[in-house]
C-alpha cells in the first residue's frame, strides 16, 4: 500500500511539473506593445540604466533607500506595461489550500 501511495505522489508531482513547463513555454510569446507603451518602457529602461551607472558610494543611507524604492516602483510599472498576471507565493499557497478544502 505504501508503494502505491508513493507512486501516486510521484505521478502527480511529475504531471504538475510537466504542465508548468508547458505553460512557461507558452507564456514566452511576447505580446505586441503600442507605441505609447513602448515609449514608457524605454523611459523606464533609461532611468534604470542611469541609476545603475550612478556612483552610490557617496550617497547617504536615505538616498540609497529612496533609489531602491524608486527601482521597485519602476519594476512594477514595467510589469504593468508588459502585461501578464503575477501571483505571489503566498497567494498560490492560499489557492492550493482552498482547492484542497473544497475538493
**27 lies in some domain:** no
The residue range of the domain holding 51 is: 32-103
**62 lies in some domain:** yes
Q: What whole-number distance in Å separates Cα of residue 54 and Cα of residue 96?
A: 43
Largest CA distance in the chain: 66
**18 lies in some domain:** no
Q: What whole-number distance in Å separates Cα of residue 67 and Cα of residue 59?
A: 10
Q: What whole-number distance in Å separates Cα of residue 49 and Cα of residue 38?
A: 16
The answer to whether 67 and 56 are in contact (CB under 8 A) is yes
* Tens digit of each residue's pLDDT (9 = 90 or more) over 6-41: 787 767 676 665 555 455 555 555 566 678 888 888
* Tens digit of each residue's pLDDT (9 = 90 or more) over 59-89: 899 999 999 999 999 888 888 777 666 667 7
**42 lies in some domain:** yes
Amino acid at each position: 500500500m505504501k508503494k502505491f501511495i508513493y507512486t501516486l505522489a510521484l505521478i502527480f508531482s511529475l504531471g504538475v511539473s510537466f504542465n508548468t513547463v508547458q505553460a512557461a513555454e507558452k507564456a514566452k510569446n511576447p505580446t505586441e506593445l503600442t507605441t505609447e507603451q513602448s515609449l514608457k518602457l524605454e523611459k523606464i529602461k533609461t532611468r534604470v540604466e542611469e541609476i545603475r551607472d550612478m556612483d552610490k558610494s557617496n550617497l547617504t543611507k536615505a538616498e540609497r533607500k529612496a533609489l531602491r524604492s524608486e527601482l521597485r516602483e519602476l519594476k512594477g510599472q514595467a510589469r504593468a506595461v508588459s502585461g501578464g498576471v503575477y501571483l505571489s507565493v503566498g497567494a498560490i499557497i492560499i489557492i492550493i489550500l482552498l482547492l484542497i478544502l473544497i475538493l
